[in-house]
């Protein structure tokens, strides 16, 4: 068979990514050869995939997570178009893993046919290779101002004949109105592909919800395939919804007597914030994202994460007073970590004719290095060791590189060939590697050292925390939620046979696209 399904949403962050992953895991456990697909993703959270030519390429982290749900290694075709916002007006275009252009409102129409052709071609190849492809939409299919050139929502569904389900987040309120409105704003041909609904993040008595489900069925002629409950344990591999001040996950009680408090600066163009999720899996480690200088003063460890706009985000740090808070934290001898763009901010100087085009600007001056931006983007998976030969794996995505360094400055990591990477100076550490903390041994040694420097003598790392196992538990939980709370028989019929032929048209509808 060559079945398929599009998971659309009433809004961004309605639950499309996790529902797609859950359906993928459910099918995978049934022995179905299934793959994920998102024609176009807009996110600065990306994963590195080794392409057929041996070079590294980028896809959205959500699609890498969905690939794992399918029991697959990530594939560039799973997310052929990735837009990485560098400002409010421009995004870097990553096409089949490779950065090829910068898109703005002015040139998007010119680029769009090329992007759509690549997306449609990738989906066709996947449908030849797999029994089922579960596709994820972007934003809402009812963004009628964008419908004419759409190739990720109903434009994709129309092109590939995909039945579509619409997921809505009831926690935001207005879910029935948004579901009805989503269908009613589509033209007749698009409506003919909308087969039904899924409600996400429900808390309470399902009986109280049932009258609304019944009415939604009456007015749309479409069923609700299920209601997914609110689940606190679904926080790993977040897409773009990490909130200011939010504590990641549900920190378990410390293994020793002390907690470690980690403050991660929520940069405006934060990228790969998922790096710190591995720290949050450790008992006794409280990780939060913040934009408050006072919260940095109280933290044991401050993290400057990755950024898609290093120079602009560094200027924002200074404007908000966060730079002074970071400098005060370092001056007090407390642990500070910079990852990728955050590492670059710690330098004495940043020379950037590429990303910001601002030339040379002063860094925070906490490491005796200089950073220079190169038009060629480094995108690769990396392996090596930390101190005491602890194995580490990670991946790199950056234009900036260390162009000058004090020869006596020790590296934080070493590549497999022995070359140094990153820097270590007193309590200040930096690296270009993303994902390094997923290596259990390195994470434990790092946190032990942080606790020592911070004076948390009662903190002890748990000996058995395994990040890979935590991720697998999350994927299995998603599969369980689909099996337990969705009408999987009806879902399977939809995947196998397509949308029912008698779905009614809901006025007013849009003019035909």
The verdict on 229 and 100 lying in the same domain is yes
Identify whether residues 355 and 449 lie together within a single domain: yes
Assess if residue 96 is contained within a domain: yes
- Any domain includes 239: no
Q: Are 155 and 193 in contact (CB under 8 A)?
A: no
**Average pLDDT score over the chain:** 92
Tell me, yes or no, whether 456 and 489 share the same domain: no
| CATH, residue 135 | 3.40.50.300
Residue with tokens 């020790």: 410
Residues 269, 312, single domain; the answer is: yes
Q: Are residues 448 and 484 in the same domain?
A: no
Same domain, 79 and 104: yes
The domain that holds 379 is classified in CATH as 3.40.50.880
| Whole-number pLDDT of residue 388 | 80
Say if strands 81-85 and 56-60 run parallel, antiparallel, or are unpaired: unpaired
Q: What pLDDT does 51 receive?
A: 81
Tell me whether residue 141 is in a domain.
yes
Counting Cα atoms < 13 Å in the Cβ hemisphere of 266 gives 17
Q: What pLDDT does 243 receive?
A: 44
Into how many domains does the chain fold?
A: 2
Shared domain check, 269 and 213: no
Q: What is the DSSP letter of 63?
A: H
Output the pLDDT for position 244. 42
What sign results for the dihedral spanned by CA atoms 146, 147, 148, 151?
Answer: positive
Catalytic residue among 329, 351, 398, 434: 434
Same domain as 274, residue 222: no
Catalytic: which of 340, 398, 432, 485? 340
* Rounded-to-integer distance, Cα 436 and Cα 393, Å: 6
Q: What average pLDDT values come out for the chain (513 residues) when binned by 10 residues?
A: 89 90 96 96 88 86 95 96 84 89 82 93 96 95 88 95 95 91 95 96 89 95 94 72 63 90 94 90 93 93 95 96 97 97 97 89 96 93 91 94 92 94 96 96 96 95 92 94 96 94 90 71
Q: Is residue 20 included in any domain, yes or no?
A: yes
Q: Strand 164-169's sheet: what is its strand order?
A: 34-37, 132-136, 3-9, 164-169, 194-202, 224-229
| 146: helix, strand or coil | helix
Angle value at C-alpha 216, between 213 and 217, nearest 5 degrees: 90
First to last CA, the chain: 30
**400 plus 486 within the same structural domain:** no
Are residue 456 and residue 308 in the same domain, yes or no? yes
Residues 303, 407: one domain?
yes
Burial letters 475-489, b for 16+ CB under 10 A, else e:
bebbbebbeebbebe
In the residue annotation, 28 being an active-site residue is answered as no
The pTM of the whole model exceeds 0.95: no
**Structural domain boundaries enclosing 41:** 3-234+472-496
Query: Do residues 164 and 266 share a domain?
Result: no
In a domain, 310, yes or no: yes
Calpha distance 311→358 (Å, rounded): 8
159 carries an active-site annotation: no
Query: What pLDDT score was predicted for residue 21?
Result: 96
């Amino acid at each position: 068979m060559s079945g398929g399904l599009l998971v659309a949403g009433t809004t961004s962050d309605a639950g499309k990514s996790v529902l797609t992953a859950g359906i993928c895991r459910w099918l995978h456990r049934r022995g179905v050869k299934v793959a994920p697909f998102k024609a176009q993703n807009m996110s600065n959270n990306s994963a590195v995939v080794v392409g057929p030519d041996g070079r590294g390429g980028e896809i959205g982290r959500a699609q890498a997570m969905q690939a794992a749900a399918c029991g697959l290694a990530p594939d560039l075709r799973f997310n052929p178009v990735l837009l990485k916002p560098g400002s409010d007006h421009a995004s870097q275009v990553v096409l089949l893993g490779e950065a090829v252009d910068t898109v703005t409102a002015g040139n998007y129409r010119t680029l769009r046919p090329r992007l759509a052709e690549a997306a449609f071609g990738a989906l066709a190849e996947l449908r030849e290779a797999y029994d089922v492809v579960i596709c994820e939409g972007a934003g809402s299919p009812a963004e009628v101002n964008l419908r004419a050139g759409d190739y990720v929502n109903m434009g994709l569904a129309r092109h590939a004949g995909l039945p579509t389900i619409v997921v809505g987040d009831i926690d935001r309120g207005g879910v029935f109105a948004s579901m009805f409105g989503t269908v009613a704003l589509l033209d007749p041909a698009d409506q003919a592909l909308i087969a039904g609904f899924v409600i996400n993040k429900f808390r309470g008595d399902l009986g109280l919800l049932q009258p609304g489900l019944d009415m939604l069925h009456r007015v749309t002629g479409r069923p609700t395939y299920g209601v997914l409950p609110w689940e606190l344990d679904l926080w790993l591999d977040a897409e773009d919804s990490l909130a200011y001040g939010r504590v990641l996950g549900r920190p378990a009680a410390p293994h020793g007597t002390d907690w470690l408090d980690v403050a991660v600066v929520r940069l405006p163009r934060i990228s790969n914030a998922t790096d710190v999720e591995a720290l949050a899996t450790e008992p006794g480690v409280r990780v939060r994202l913040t934009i408050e200088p006072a919260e940095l003063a109280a933290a044991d460890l401050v993290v400057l994460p990755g950024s898609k706009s290093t120079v602009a985000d560094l200027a924002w740090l200074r404007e908000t007073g966060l730079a002074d808070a970071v400098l005060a934290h370092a001056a007090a001898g407390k642990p500070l970590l910079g990852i990728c763009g955050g590492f670059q901010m710690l330098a004495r100087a940043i020379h950037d004719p590429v990303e910001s085009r601002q030339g040379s600007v002063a860094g925070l001056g906490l490491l005796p290095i200089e950073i220079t931006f190169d038009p060629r983007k480094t995108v690769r998976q990396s392996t090596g060791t930390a101190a005491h030969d602890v194995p580490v794996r990670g991946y790199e995505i950056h234009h900036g590189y260390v162009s000058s360094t004090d020869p006596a400055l020790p590296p934080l990591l070493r590549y497999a060939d022995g070359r140094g990477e990153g820097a270590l100076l007193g309590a200040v550490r930096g690296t270009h590697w993303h994902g390094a903390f997923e290596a259990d041994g390195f994470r434990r040694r790092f946190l032990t050292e942080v606790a020592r420097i911070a004076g948390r003598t009662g903190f002890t790392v748990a000996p058995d925390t395994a990040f890979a196992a935590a991720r697998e538990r999350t994927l299995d939980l998603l599969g369980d939620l689909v099996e337990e709370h969705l009408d999987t028989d009806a879902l399977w019929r939809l995947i196998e046979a397509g949308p029912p032929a008698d779905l009614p048209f809901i006025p007013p509808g849009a003019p035909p696209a």
